[in-house]
Amino acid sequence: MYDYIIIGAGITGITLCKLLREKGRNVICLEKEEEPGGLCRTKRIQGHTLDIGGGHFFHTKHQEVFDLVFKHIPKEEFNYYERVSKILLGDETIDYPIESNIWQLPMNEQIEYIISVICNGEQSGRPEPGNYEEWIRWKLGDKICDEYMIPYNTKLWGVEPKEMDIDWLHKIPRVNVREVLQYCLQRKQDVTKFPAHIHFYYPKKGGFQAIINALAKDELPYIKCGEKVESIVKNDDAWVINGKYQAGKVINTTPWCDLYEALGNPVELKSDFEKIRYNRIVVSLYEKHYDINWHWRYIPDKNKPYHREFYIGNFAQDSAKNGIYLETNIINHKEGNLKIDDRPAVAEYVTDAAYPVPVIGHADAIKRILDHYGPLGLYGVGRWGQHEYQNADVSVHEAMRFVESLDREG
């Protein structure tokens, strides 16, 4: 009988395992794949260091996350980069974020963008709408939406923006008309207003998985790989997983929607489980010579199936200098249809659960699921357990917060 069973050995499950064991708890972590790491895994392919879950870079606003990671893998084993991320708009490549770099476009385009920003719904005093498409149009104006936000997000998420909620919008550009005008006139952005991390760490060797390897090193005896959770049953005094593992408490770090049957088809929550959706992303590796310094570029162009491209040689020191990989939603991906310079992919990986899709109603749905199971001793932590757009550092932080909350409960 365990104190805790953790479902999933991605970075959330590994962190939970480590912190609970440090508190003296008897823990096992069940992982369906043959190795831990989940989305943060890296493969070495023909001299390339490929993060198979897509582009992964480490930064955080939580000092305790830096402390945990750097305790297990010294800071000196990372390179520290100033982010060079770009956006392809028509034939022009400009710096990210768009709202600060409209001045890099040709003059007539700048004028169109500025007029559109000035005429946006918010500036015109129209009321705030409730779905993603109408909201970003209201906030950013038609031009940024039509040329960038709508096509990019439709490709990335694989659902129509009008089906999406607005509760994750801290991830979208903040448009301030005065600032847009100021940057255009001074032909320079103010990097102190950058909406995301301006720097990032990346391991010198082994790709993003170097972080997983370091965190998981002492946990391996407590991680059971090749053990897909298919049955979760609550008896009088214990949870029984797959008919053989028993624990007082269970922590789920995997998509809830995939556990519906395992939980015995709880019909009263059926519509909530149906709102817990994720998309699938294909990562395709190519070889091509490049002499630019970009780390990645966003591709809103509707004629290209992929939405982001990564220049591995510019951030992975141990990787061949001619590696590029593309991220494509599986809906837009047809095997073999993506080529660079007429060359097919060197390798392709499909991530089954990539992004938690914020369809309308998802936040209420996950709340009802967590409120239902929490009092019974089945919790959800991390990107999937909480069904939130969390980066790896946030998932680590949520695992820390969860373990701290147990201390408070005693």
Ligand X SMILES: Cc1cc2nc3c(=O)[nH]c(=O)nc-3n(C[C@H](O)[C@H](O)[C@H](O)COP(=O)(O)OP(=O)(O)OC[C@H]3O[C@@H](n4cnc5c(N)ncnc54)[C@H](O)[C@@H]3O)c2cc1C
Residues 160-199 that bind ligand X (CB under 6 A): none
**Contact assessment for residue 255 and residue 278, using Cβ atoms and an 8 Å cutoff:** yes
Say if residues 108 and 142 touch (Cβ distance below 8 Å).
no
- Selected binder of ligand X within 28, 38, 282, 400 (CB under 6 A): 38
Among 213, 309, 395, 400, binds ligand X (CB under 6 A): 395
For ligand X, which is the closer residue by CB, 99 or 327?
327
- Token look-up 């890296």 returns 42
Are 309 and 297 contacting, i.e. CB atoms less than 8 angstroms apart? yes
The answer to whether 305 touches 282, Cβ cutoff 8 Å, is: no
CA 69 – CA 392 distance, rounded (Å): 11
In this structure, what are the phi and psi dihedrals at residue 61, rounded to the nearest 5 degrees?
-95, 0
Largest CA distance in the chain: 71
56 lies in the binding site for ligand X (CB under 6 A)? yes
Q: Confirm or reject binding of residue 31 to ligand X (CB under 6 A).
A: yes
Least Cβ distance, residue 107 to ligand X (angstroms): 34
Q: How many CB atoms lie within 10 A of CB 319?
A: 20
Place of tokens 């903040």: 174
Instruction: Please report whether residue 55 would count as binding ligand X according to CB under 6 A.
Output: yes
Of the listed pieces 114-122, 173-181, 292-300, 392-400, which binds ligand X according to CB under 6 A? Answer: 392-400
- Site string (251-290) toward ligand X, x via CB under 6 A: --xx---x----------------------x---------
CA terminus-to-terminus distance, the chain? 20
Residue 158 engages ligand X in binding (rule: CB under 6 A): no
Least gap, CB of 188 to ligand X (angstroms): 27
Helix or strand or coil: residue 304? coil
Of the residues 263, 297, 382, 402, which one makes contact with ligand X according to CB under 6 A: 382
- 83 in contact with ligand X (CB under 6 A): no
What tokens appear for 12 in the block? 């959330």
Residue 397 interacting with ligand X (CB under 6 A): no
From 50-58, 291-299, 360-368, 400-408, span contacting ligand X (CB under 6 A): 50-58
Instruction: Find out whether 144 and 113 touch, Cβ atoms under 8 Å.
Output: yes
DSSP string, 119-131: TSTTTTTPPPPSS
Q: How many CA atoms, within 13 angstroms, populate the side-chain half-sphere of residue 192?
A: 0
Taking CB under 6 A as the criterion, the residue among 2, 4, 57, 286 binding ligand X is 57
C-beta separation of 39 from 10 below 8 A: yes
Contact 130, 137 (CB under 8 A): no
Q: Does 13 bind ligand X (CB under 6 A)?
A: yes
**Under the criterion CB under 6 A, does residue 311 sit at the interface with ligand X?**
no
Q: Is 259 helix (H, G, I), strand (E, B) or coil?
A: helix
- The answer to the question of residue 207 lying near ligand X (CB under 6 A) is no
Minimum CB separation of residue 65 from ligand X in Å reads 10
Comparing CB distances to ligand X, the nearer of 177 and 225 is 225
Least distance (Å) between residue 23 CB and ligand X = 19
> By CB under 6 A, is residue 306 in contact with ligand X?
no
Judged by CB under 6 A, the residue of 6, 9, 251, 299 near ligand X is: 9
Choose which of 19, 30, 50, 269 interacts with ligand X (CB under 6 A). 30
Interior CA angle at 199 toward 193 and 204, to 5°? Answer: 175
Contacts with ligand X, residue ranges (CB under 6 A): 7-13, 30-33, 38-40, 53-58, 228-229, 253-254, 258, 281, 327, 351, 353-355, 382-384, 390-393, 395
